[in-house]
Amino acid sequence: MCGIAGKIYFSAGEVSSEAISAMNNTLIHRGPDDDGVYISADKKVGLGHRRLSIIDLSSLGHQPMSYQDRYQIVFNGEIYNFQEKRVMLEGLGYVFKSKTDTEVLMALYDKFRKKCVDHLRGMFAFAIYDEKNRTLFCARDRVGKKPFKYYTDNSVFIFASELKAILTQAEYRKEIDPVAIHHYLTLGYCPAPLTGFKDMQKLEPAHHLFIDLKTGKIEKERYWKLDFAKKINLTETQWQERILDKLRESIESRMIADVPLGVLLSGGIDSSAIVALMREGKNRTIKTFSVGFEERQFNELESAQLVAQKFSTQHTEMIVRPNVIDALPNLLYQAEEPFADPSILPTYYINKVAKEQVTVVLNGDGGDENFAGYRRYSLHKFSLLFEEFKWINNWFCLPIAKFLASKFQSDFLQRAYLFSKSLQEKYDYRYANYTCKLSMKMKDSLYQDGFAEKISGLDSNSLIAEKFKEANVKDKLDQALYADFSTYLPDDLLVKADTASMAVSIEGRSPFLDHEFLELSAMMPFSLKVKGLFFRKYILKKAFEHILPKEIIEQKKKGFGIPVAKWLRGDLREYVQSILLSEKAAARGFFKKEVVEKMLTDHMESRHDYSRQIWTLLCLELWCLEYFE
């Protein structure tokens, strides 16, 4: 992996090498092996790069890289099919000096211009400056694995892999974006293009920017979209064969590296499947890495050990304890945006353990999005079936659930009431509520008057509901998959993966997120992903039932979370109170201190589980302390 940066003046102003170097210096963790700066002859364009060497470790991979005495590129990512494309280009007369995918990418741009992205299979964020035409072409991969963030006004365009690089430039003045904060509190992340910083944006996945420096015109265009409407009719056996064949292909393409490589083995079916196919028929060394917890309901180490033993891997593991909270402020600094996914902590530590032995790791990210692995898909399917009997819910279930929830202190009864109540809502809004951190009602009670005025009328759930419509498919279950693929995956899971890996200078690769594999799974009927109501990942498990141990196939999903509720009532109690009830937190003008205090008290005394809400508030305040103190 690498870090990229750049600055372009449209009119007055000159880019200095010092300005680009300052941006580069904030990205050293993304690329500790090398750095470079390019300044155009007219000093209107500056590009910067930090390199983590993975392929072609020679100096020929140095960036910014020049091509044909015309193009300059800064590139972050890996193009897994670059050797195939190189052969194709050589047949067209192109000559290459290095063995890098970067040079192949520039040749593809020379030949196909904007359409070059259609030829790329991999993860990427890059910018190519055409000195002859004075244009800048920037693109981000289809899924959003690699970040691309930018700031622009009438005079300047500044971009980088990370916001902290842009913050070094005098043209941008830091300011919190209240709209982003409002949406973050519901979602637990900042939805693209928002970042938490006012006027700072992130380029959406599968989009590119084309900038004409002569006119200052910026064009943004989407170049790819996952299509759930095109279904194909295959037998279960044929689907299993296709899944295995395509996943094998995806894994093998991601094993190209000139540095040591390993696997993050959680113990779930996704990462276990990757280990199994890596071992299949090959006498290769496989290094696997796992983390676990003392709390058994969160611990998957036994499953990981079972897989490691069956496939004879060199296995390393560690136990995560409450003191890992010490890393949270730095991780939120690295994430740059308000971010409330607690699994960033174990993800960081498993990458840290792996970094001691390897430079590249494969992971199981994307398995749940491909094969409907989250519990909310079962809940969504059940709610759609229950809609046929709304009158039963409205007349009987809802009144009873409401009475019991008010009468007894029980999180189960509270959830049952909320589910029954949600059936009165439209299905897309209802689905959005399944994942929300703080509901609109809760936010209304928390907000100070001044902050409430700034975000008046903004509905966070509508952002998810819009994705249901954007899916352009009739099946309401496929709409939910598309919504998660377009929001939760790129803005939460992939931010977590990139942040946690780059913090320790390690590259993560995700075979399940290969765009051809995604296109294949999108053609599959939802009924093969969730069989009945509760058999999730059905077809994936069938494909691996004779390959993986029975215990792995049959185990219930645990996810990769941490025991937040318990930790907040125990080891982290004083820490959380000191942060959220501080004078600094109250002075920000977001929340009413007395409401936050009651939420903390109710949780600490086990009257209600507010762990998700408290963690979301905690991460926001820690982010503010990192960037606005």
- CATH number assigned to the domain comprising residue 188: 3.60.20.10
- Interatomic CA distance for residues 78 and 101, integer angstroms: 7
Final residue in a domain of this structure, among 503, 535, 554: 554
The answer to whether residue 261 is domain-embedded is yes
* DSSP3 helix / strand / coil % (the chain, rounded to 5): 50, 15, 35
The answer to whether residue 382 is domain-embedded is no
Dig out the tokens for 156 from the structure. 């300047």
DSSP notation for 532-564:
TTTEETHHHHHHTTTTS-HHHHHSPP-TT---H
Regions of the chain short of the pLDDT cut 70: 1, 53-61, 258-259, 294-299, 391, 393-396, 398, 403, 407, 409-411, 558-561
548 and 598 assigned to the same domain: no
Do residues 378 and 386 lie in contact, with contact meaning Cβ atoms separated by under 8 Å?
A: no
246 and 325 assigned to the same domain: yes
143 and 92 assigned to the same domain: yes
The answer to whether residue 439 is domain-embedded is no
Do residues 427 and 384 lie in contact, with contact meaning Cβ atoms separated by under 8 Å?
A: yes
50 and 199 assigned to the same domain: yes
Radius of gyration for the alpha carbons in the chain, expressed in angstroms and rounded: 25
Cβ neighbours for 325, distance < 8 A, ≥ 6 positions apart: 345, 567, 572, 575
The answer to whether residue 324 is domain-embedded is yes
Q: Residue 206: what pLDDT?
A: 98
The answer to whether residue 415 is domain-embedded is no
Q: Residue 556: what pLDDT?
A: 78
Q: Residue 590: what pLDDT?
A: 96
350 and 304 assigned to the same domain: yes
Domain range spanning residue 189?
Answer: 2-222
**Per residue, what are the HEC states of 294-328?**
CCHHHCCHHHHHHHHHHCCCEEEEEEECHHHHHHH
Q: Is 624 a catalytic residue?
A: no
- CATH number assigned to the domain comprising residue 524: 3.40.50.620
Query: Burial code of 476-500, b = ≥16 C-beta within 10 A, e = fewer?
Result: bbbbbbbbbbbbbbbbbbbbbbbbb
The answer to whether residue 366 is domain-embedded is yes
Tens of pLDDT, residue by residue over 433-487, are 888 899 998 999 999 999 999 999 899 999 999 999 999 999 999 999 999 999 9
207 and 260 assigned to the same domain: no
Options 2, 397, 619, 624, the catalytic residue: 2
128 and 247 assigned to the same domain: no
Q: Residue 411: what pLDDT?
A: 65
The answer to whether residue 35 is domain-embedded is yes
127 and 268 assigned to the same domain: no
The answer to whether residue 128 is domain-embedded is yes
pTM equals 0.92
43 and 122 assigned to the same domain: yes
Q: Residue 63: what pLDDT?
A: 86
Q: Residue 572: what pLDDT?
A: 86
217 and 127 assigned to the same domain: yes
Final residue in a domain of this structure, among 554, 582, 600: 554
117 and 187 assigned to the same domain: yes
Final residue in a domain of this structure, among 172, 192, 222: 222
**Which H/E stretch holds residue 37?**
strand 34-39
Tens of pLDDT, residue by residue over 496-555, are 999 999 889 899 999 999 999 999 999 999 999 999 888 899 999 999 999 999 999 988
126 and 196 assigned to the same domain: yes
Instruction: State the total domains in the chain.
Output: 3
